[in-house]
């Protein structure tokens, strides 16, 4: 494709924040102005929804066998090579399990192995159940038990963990031992067959599995393809885990349309090289949660240019006016920002296309206009529709809602209901609050319950509270989310102990990390004598203020005393965005979260050659403690190496 066409394909017209109702492509007026008559996009027809995901993928093999499908830092796969790998996995599954529909668990890292296995599971007519190896074993065991999977698909890297989980109760397939084949299984898979079960946080204290069908997933992909106006020179970044809704969609948007996907593990590699990676691979579509986007922006200095980047999609958390200002500052004039609203149960139901000259009132950016085949109702406490500019619960009406929660008819009945007007559409009560402008633009206004979003992950605070209450030292506990100075949400746990004396926060974090995902472990703990109550005896969550630690750590600043401590204080200051870090400062009190923790771990490994875990940082949360762990690991592996490193660090100080 010539450079002139590529340049024209990324051009957008000036836009306003006004838009008429949905058009036949699933776009509001804002989105249509973006690309109409400019990009020869690959339309996803309505009829293309009536098939299986695997059949749609195999159509791409016929059209683009030698085109790039996946590229990571270490490998490239064409569509034919990816299809052959997926076929090998599918045939191995069928040989063990036959053709009955059943869940299959995947314990794999979130790059090429997971993508190939995802496709292999779907080709075999099974139900995809992802298990992120970074999750605590207790959580993985629960998902395995609840999903009723009898087979774990894994690879050499995760084989020992899979064997420990299996304990002769589950069959195992090691994909590194399989032979690739070009022979497709050729199964007839109906569009309403289940495609996957994705587990999200549950208010009952345990994760719950959200089911989706092949037809629903293809409908979601159709809306993205037609809404984004995907064309043949698009290249998509993958910054999500394939175990979450956005990650699975991100993969299939590319692979069901003959486009390449470029996975990058942000937790492992950090943000320092993300800009160069996007530019070098000529990425055109970037998608992340706002928190990740803000961390990315901190690494930019204004000198970077992103000539290929034409669309940035954010969602899962509120987008603020400050985010738009950063978008305008760092990205090309013809780049478009998309703010979306959606869930694992519904896919995307609203989006707002925003250009460089789009203006909004207020601090929070609206989630915008209708997505095709999704109607939004705003209901009051009595189930009656509210008027314009009035707050109500967001209820989604559609043909394409999740069938419900796996093995949980009780909570399925609460969240989903038939259309009271008749017909075959259903309603989903989201628990989100919103208000509608007369022009059809929706604003998201938070939750009506205690559910929160942390870096795009949906979290029921009751699940964390129940985990705290299982700890013998805790008598009462409440968890709330509070914004920090960066507008990111942080979880704060307020605890009442059974006995007098201070709680051991390090022990609390370690215990919680055995059952909760890293993003669910509170970043701060506040010990109280009792929880505040409202006049009617309920816990007064509004009176629980966020702890303020910044001034405290400045007052007790202790300078580094060794070369390793000095190296760590520099790394921590860079990652945390703090002007000064002392060796007695606590990572979590400084606003650290698991995303930042992974950056510290990756930089420590790159600089000192020491590979540590998130658990190590949780148990040694100050610079002094963590530096001691680093030294201990170096000594255990090679005492001479420690001496050499100390000499190098000492030389760098001088």
Question: Looking at residue 554, what is its pLDDT?
Answer: 45
| Radius of gyration of the CA atoms of the chain, in A | 25
CB 255 within 8 A of CB 123: no
User: Which pTM value belongs to this model?
Assistant: 0.83
The rounded distance, in Å, linking the Cα atoms of 351 and 650 is: 53
Comparing CA positions, the residue from 560, 522, 524 lying closest to residue 650 is 560
Domain(s) of CATH 3.30.300.30: residues in the chain: 455-547
- Rounded to 10 degrees, the C-alpha dihedral 116/120/126/127 comes to 10
The rounded distance, in Å, linking the Cα atoms of 147 and 209 is: 8
Element (H, E) at 137: helix 137-147
Question: Looking at residue 208, what is its pLDDT?
Answer: 96
The rounded distance, in Å, linking the Cα atoms of 123 and 92 is: 11
CB 279 within 8 A of CB 269: no
Domain(s) of CATH 1.10.1200.10: residues in the chain: 551-653
Residue with tokens 């992103």: 306
Partners of 196 in the beta sheet?
128, 212
Give every CB contact of residue 137 below 8 A, 6+ residues apart in sequence.
161, 164, 165, 514
Partners of 426 in the beta sheet?
398, 418
Q: Which residues of 118-131 are buried (b: 16+ CB within 10 A; e: fewer)?
A: bbbbbbbbbbbbbb
CATH 3.30.70.260 fits 551-653, yes or no: no
CB 92 within 8 A of CB 126: no
Question: Looking at residue 614, what is its pLDDT?
Answer: 79
Q: Alpha helices, DSSP H only, in 455-496?
A: 461-469
Q: What is the CATH number of domain 455-547?
A: 3.30.300.30
Question: Looking at residue 22, what is its pLDDT?
Answer: 33
Question: Looking at residue 33, what is its pLDDT?
Answer: 34
**Per-block mean pLDDT, blocks of 10 residues, the chain (654 long):** 30 31 35 44 93 98 97 95 98 97 95 96 98 92 97 97 93 98 98 97 86 98 96 96 95 98 88 92 96 88 93 92 93 96 96 91 92 96 94 96 97 96 94 94 88 83 90 91 76 89 88 91 89 75 66 64 89 84 87 82 83 84 92 74 60 56
């Amino acid at each position: 494709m010539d450079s002139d066409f590529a340049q024209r394909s990324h051009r957008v017209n000036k836009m306003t924040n006004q838009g008429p109702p949905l058009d036949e492509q699933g776009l509001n007026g804002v989105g249509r102005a973006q690309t109409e008559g400019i990009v020869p996009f690959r339309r996803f027809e309505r009829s293309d929804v009536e098939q299986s995901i695997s059949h749609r993928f195999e159509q791409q093999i016929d059209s683009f066998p030698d085109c790039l499908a996946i590229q990571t830092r270490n490998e490239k796969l064409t569509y034919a090579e990816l299809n052959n790998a997926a076929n090998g996995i599918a045939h191995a599954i069928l040989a063990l399990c036959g053709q009955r529909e059943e869940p299959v668990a995947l314990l794999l890292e979130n790059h090429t192995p997971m993508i190939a296995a995802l496709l292999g599971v779907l080709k075999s007519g099974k139900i995809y159940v992802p298990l992120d190896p970074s999750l605590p074993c207790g959580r993985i065991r629960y998902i395995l038990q609840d999903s009723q999977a009898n087979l774990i698909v894994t690879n050499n890297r995760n084989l020992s963990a899979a064997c420990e989980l299996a304990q002769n109760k589950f069959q195992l397939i090691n994909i590194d031992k399989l032979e690739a084949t070009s022979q497709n299984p050729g199964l007839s898979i109906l569009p309403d067959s289940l495609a996957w079960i994705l587990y999200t946080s549950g208010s009952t204290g345990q994760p719950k599995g959200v089911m989706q069908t092949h037809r629903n997933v293809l409908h979601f992909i159709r809306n993205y393809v037609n809404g984004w106006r995907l064309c043949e020179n698009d290249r998509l970044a993958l910054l999500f885990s394939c175990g979450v809704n956005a990650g699975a969609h991100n993969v299939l948007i590319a692979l069901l349309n003959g486009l390449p996907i470029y996975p990058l593990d942000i937790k492992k590699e950090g943000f320092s090289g993300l800009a160069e990676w996007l530019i070098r691979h000529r990425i055109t579509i970037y998608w992340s949660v706002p928190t990740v986007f803000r961390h990315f922006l901190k690494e930019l200095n204004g000198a970077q240019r992103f000539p290929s980047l034409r669309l940035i999609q954010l969602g899962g958390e509120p987008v603020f006016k400050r985010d738009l200002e950063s978008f305008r500052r760092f990205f090309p004039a013809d780049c478009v920002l998309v703010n979306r609203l959606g869930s694992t149960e519904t896919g995307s139901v609203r989006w707002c296309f925003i250009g460089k000259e789009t203006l909004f009132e207020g601090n929070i950016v609206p989630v915008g206009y209708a997505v095709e085949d999704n109607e939004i109702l705003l209901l009051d406490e009595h189930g009656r529709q509210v008027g314009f500019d009035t707050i109500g619960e967001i209820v989604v009406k559609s043909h394409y809602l999740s069938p419900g929660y796996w093995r949980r008819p009780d909570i399925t009945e609460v969240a989903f209901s038939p259309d009271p007007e008749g017909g075959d559409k259903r309603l989903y009560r989201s628990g989100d609050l919103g208000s509608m402008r007369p022009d059809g633009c929706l604003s998201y206004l938070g939750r009506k319950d205690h559910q929160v979003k942390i870096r795009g992950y949906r979290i029921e605070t009751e699940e964390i509270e129940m985990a705290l209450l299982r700890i013998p030292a805790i008598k009462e506990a409440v968890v709330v989310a509070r914004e920090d100075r960066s507008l990111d949400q942080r979880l704060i746990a307020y605890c009442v102990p059974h006995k007098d004396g201070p709680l051991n926060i390090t022990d609390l974090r370690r215990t919680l990390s055995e059952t909760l995902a890293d993003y669910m472990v509170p970043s701060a703990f506040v010990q109280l004598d009792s929880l505040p109550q409202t006049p009617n005896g309920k816990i007064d969550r509004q009176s629980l203020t966020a702890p303020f630690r910044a001034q405290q750590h400045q007052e007790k600043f202790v300078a580094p005393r060794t070369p390793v401590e000095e190296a760590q204080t520099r790394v921590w200051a860079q990652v945390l965005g703090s002007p000064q870090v002392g060796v007695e400062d606590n990572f979590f009190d400084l606003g650290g979260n698991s995303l930042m923790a992974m950056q510290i771990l990756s930089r420590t490994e790159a600089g000192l050659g020491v590979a540590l875990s998130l658990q190590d940082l949780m148990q040694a949360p100050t610079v002094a403690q963590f530096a001691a762990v680093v030294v201990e690991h170096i000594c255990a592996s090679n005492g001479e190496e420690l001496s050499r490193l100390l000499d190098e660090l000492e030389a760098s100080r001088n």
